Amino acid sequence: MSKIIDTFIAPPCHDKVEILYQDEHLVLINKPTGLLSLSGKNPQNIDSVHHRLVQIFPGCTLVHRLDFGTSGLMVIARNKAINAALCQQFSQRTVTKVYSALLCGHLHDNEGVIDAAIAKDPALFPLMSICEIHGKPARSDYRVVERFYHELENGSLLPLTRVHLTPQTGRTHQLRIHCQLLGHPILGCDLYGGLISPGTEHTPRLMLHASELHFTHPVSGESIKASNASPFGT
């Protein structure tokens, strides 16, 4: 099997990691777009959510990750026991994650389900692929919030659909590739066809934001329903 070489160098991220809640067991944060969740092997990719937070909360660990371009809610464990308890909730799929996104074009249906297996292919790295034979099961729900037009600098109108996406599984790039499969990629997605035409205007960030995170506090047993408004509209 050919060795995968990651040549990506993350540009500097000057936005802060916003701490929304903290106790002695866990931390809830709002991750900015353009920041790695975990530091890369390349020393130029040292800056990350974990690298920053471990300076504040020694011994903290990531329970889950968000893609480099995705912003929004993450829960961080402050010790190994809490990490194990939260990871179990994620693996048992008792955690609910809701994302806000802007999709290119106008979706026909107001809601629906995308059920398509996703596979890794070293030949396509960093892209994932839809593959029912070799892929792992992947399922995402979507619900339309608004259909509208965005006026570009050249005066043309770009049709967009604001949606809420709820992944039932947690595959790499799941929401991005599932939206591409719908024929409506996420605006600003450089991997799965969400970039607007060159010369129209500056390509925006990846318009994907983790806006809700529901889980059970592993110590108190309290039902946590965290929400964080999307920076590009609800």
Q: Rounded CA gap, 37 and 144, in Å?
A: 28
Share of the chain residues as helix, strand and coil, in percent rounded to the nearest 5: 15, 35, 50
> Are 92 and 35 spatial neighbours (Cβ–Cβ below 8 Å)?
no
Q: Tell me the helices (H) and strands (E) count for the chain, helix number first.
A: 3, 12
Nearest to 25 by CA among 224, 170, 220: 220
C-alpha 153 chain-centroid distance: 28
Catalytic residue chosen out of the listed positions 23, 67, 109, 121: 67
d(CA 49, CA 45): 11
Tokens coding 216? 């059970």
Q: Give yes or no: 67 in active site.
A: yes
| Torsional sign, CA 105, 110, 111, 116 | negative
Give the residue numbers marked as catalytic: 67
